[in-house]
Amino acid sequence: MPLALSTMKTPIRAAAGLAIACTVLLGGCASDQEELRGWMDNVRATTQPIRDTIAEPTRFEPFRYDNLALLDPFSSAKMQAAYDRLVQRAKGGLTPDLNRRREPLESYPLEQIQMVGHLSSGNQNYALLQADTLIYQAKVGGYAGQNFGLITRVSESEVKLKELVQDAAGEWVERETALQLQEGPKK
């Protein structure tokens, strides 16, 4: 039994020593906290509070729509009238022929096509148009460019086209453009 008592004293002594060490260490921290509290009090005393006033929120006033004399904007009669105007506009205006077989030069934007030459055979004039590295023969009645460009005139120095483009309202309008003969490098 005496051996058991001596081993019991050792953990108690270790715990007591640890408690004393913690007390001494925590006593040293108290002075650091006092310094921190003093700095915080100094900052609070010298800092001016923000005194901007916040404007009151505007009051919401609901709008009452009392226009019973006019046609309801969501009625089927108004929708039908708008549809009829759209159909009427489509019947009378220009439209491209979307069922026509596309020609090879219609694969390129007009900015990428250059006129590099001119040929004449009898009374028929041909323009030599280059797109990428390929050269195509084009004549009046052919198409070029991505805006349904119909070739209307071929001369020795230019090719005139009539394109169909959509304006801001979605209607098709004609636009005339021309490709000028590109001169090669001079020797």
- The continuous run of DSSP H or E covering 14 comes out as helix 2-46
**In this structure, what CATH number is given to the domain that contains residue 146?**
2.30.30.830
pTM value is 0.50
pLDDT value for 186 = 53
Q: What is the mean pLDDT of the chain?
A: 81
Answer yes or no: is pLDDT of 146 > 70: yes
Token pair listed for 117: 């030459």
Q: Which of 49-58, 114-123, 150-159 has the lowest mean pLDDT?
A: 49-58
What is the rounded average pLDDT of the residues 19-32? Answer: 67
The tally of domains found in the chain comes to: 1
Q: Does any domain span residue 163? A: yes
Q: Does any domain span residue 13? A: no
Q: Does any domain span residue 29? A: no
What is the rounded average pLDDT of the residues 163-180? Answer: 85
Answer yes or no: is pLDDT of 177 > 90: yes
pLDDT confidence tier of residue 30, bands split at 50, 70 and 90: low
Q: Does any domain span residue 166? A: yes
Q: Does any domain span residue 68? A: no
Answer yes or no: is pLDDT of 22 > 60: yes
Q: Does any domain span residue 168? A: yes
Question: Which is nearest to 109 in space by CA: 151, 144, 150?
Answer: 144
pLDDT higher at 137 or 168: 137
pLDDT value for 102 = 92
Token pair listed for 145: 């460019």
CA distance readout (Å), 164 to 87, 111, 122, 161: 19, 16, 31, 10
Answer yes or no: is pLDDT of 70 > 60: yes
Burial string for 94-116 (b: 16+ CB within 10 Å, else e) reads eeeeeeeeeeebbebebeebebe
Answer yes or no: is pLDDT of 5 > 60: no
- Distance between CA atoms of residues 86 and 184, nearest Å: 49
Q: Range of 132's domain?
A: 104-180
Q: Does any domain span residue 42? A: no
| Strand order, beta sheet including 113-121 | 113-121, 124-131, 134-138
Answer yes or no: is pLDDT of 31 > 50: yes
Token pair listed for 24: 């001494």
pLDDT confidence tier of residue 92, bands split at 50, 70 and 90: low
| CB-CB contact of 158 with 181 (8 Å) | yes
Answer yes or no: is pLDDT of 67 > 80: no
Q: Does any domain span residue 161? A: yes
The DSSP 8-state label assigned to residue 138 in this structure reads E
| Residue 101 one-letter amino acid | R
